[in-house]
Amino acid sequence: MKILIPLAVGLLAALGLASCHTGPDAMPQPTPSPAPAAVRDTLAYSFAVLGCNRVDNSDLNLAANPSTANVPQLNQTYTELAALKPVPDYLFFMGDMVLGYSPDSAVIGHELRAWVRLYQAAPLSRTSIRLVAMPGNHEVMSGKNQPSFAGAELAWRNAMRPYIVGSNGPGAGGPDQLATDQSRLTYSFDYKKSHFVVLNTDPVGAEATVPLAWLQTDLAAARAKGSKHLFAFGHKPALPAPGGDGLRNGGSMWDVLEANHAEAMLAAHNHLYFRSQQPNYHPWQVIAGNGGSVLDASASPNKLFYGYTLVKVFTSGKVKAYSYGRDLPANGYLGAVTTATPTTVRDSVDLTWK
């Protein structure tokens, strides 16, 4: 023991465990910090967008298909969205979901209610996703190149009530001199530090426009309260695809989006998938009008596909969009979707403001 104890004490002292000496020669050394782990960029939330799924007038058959939707393509998209992990937080359906174009609002209402039944029968409706629907020109106009009318707006609000998620839009009159109350057709809401603006792009008496005064006030307020991301949604694009048409005040709208640092406008109306970014502007426009209607003749060969666009927002602040598409059925646009036309990612784009 007389030998072991000094050895043990010496060993402990060497290890710095037995000494309580506080002199300069015993100054404790800082413990090295562990190497920082790589920061993992996780998904904050996601949302899907599409529009333009209605059939052509020549294929109208209300007895067999009262929804007037391209049912095979619509159900396939619903099935694929329900299978995503995680399921998107929102699905924004950007108009022209039914054929409409009738001066009889009862006809439009009948088609819309049939469309709702189709959605409610789909497994997607029983997931956690939230459907947000907005009207296109086919839902609010009395016919091709005809004006929108108040009866159609009312039919829309009544039939689509479960899928209208805001009511803070502009009323009749006001700075935008609107002919009818737009408060539940154009509105905004917040989600996870993001701000979403839903726009009726064909209000009565102001077809192919959006209320710019209201939009500027709404976006500026969202920025002031700290919204990290701003997204606008509407049927008609502000800046149309080549060969297509869009908003009459789209250029001015783009200035408003730029001034408020909005990431993107997502739209439909042009029957194709198309993305663009204007020179010297930061916001992107993504047209996802390839939901199932006959595609535009102007669509280039690599744009001839049906599907939807998925937008992912990450905790780092990055925003990315992915266009999912499947080739057209060999036996026509209303043909059954088969394994011969698998859905794949056809395009992707970084929408992050920069």
What string of DSSP letters covers 219-249? HHHHHHTT-SEEEEEESS-SSPPTT----TT
| pLDDT computed for residue 298 by the predictor | 84
pLDDT in tens, 171-188: 999 999 999 999 999 999
Dihedral sign for Cα 333, 336, 339, 343, please: positive
What string of DSSP letters covers 32-46? PPPPPPPPP--EEEE
CA separation for the pair 161, 164 (Å, rounded): 5
- Collapsing DSSP to helix, strand or coil, 31 comes out as coil
Q: Which two tokens stand for residue 353?
A: 């403001």
| pLDDT computed for residue 39 by the predictor | 61
Quick check: 132 and 88 in contact, CB under 8 A?
no
DSSP category for residue 208 = T
Quick check: 289 and 267 in contact, CB under 8 A?
yes
- Collapsing DSSP to helix, strand or coil, 134 comes out as strand
| pLDDT computed for residue 303 by the predictor | 85
Closest CA to 133 of 75, 48, 204: 48
| pLDDT computed for residue 28 by the predictor | 45
CA separation for the pair 270, 144 (Å, rounded): 15
Ramachandran assignment for 33, one of left (phi > 0), alpha (psi -120 to 50 degrees), beta (any other): beta
CA separation for the pair 185, 165 (Å, rounded): 10
Q: Residue 170: exposed, middle, or buried by beta-carbon count in 10 A (0-12, 13-18, 19+)?
A: buried
Cα atoms found within 13 Å of the Cα of residue 279, Cβ hemisphere only: 0
Tens of each residue's pLDDT in the chain, 354 residues:
333 333 333 433 333 333 333 444 444 444 555 545 456 899 999 999 999 999 999 999 999 999 999 999 999 999 999 999 999 999 999 999 999 999 999 999 999 999 999 999 999 999 999 999 999 999 999 999 999 999 999 999 999 999 999 999 999 999 999 999 999 999 999 999 999 999 999 999 999 999 999 999 999 999 999 999 999 999 999 999 999 999 999 999 999 999 999 999 999 999 999 999 999 999 999 999 999 999 998 888 778 999 999 999 999 999 999 999 999 999 999 999 999 889 999 999 999 998
CA separation for the pair 133, 234 (Å, rounded): 10
Quick check: 325 and 346 in contact, CB under 8 A?
yes
CB contact set of 285 (below 8 Å; sequence gap of 6+)? 237, 238, 239, 264, 265, 266, 267, 275, 276, 277
| pLDDT computed for residue 31 by the predictor | 52
| pLDDT computed for residue 40 by the predictor | 80
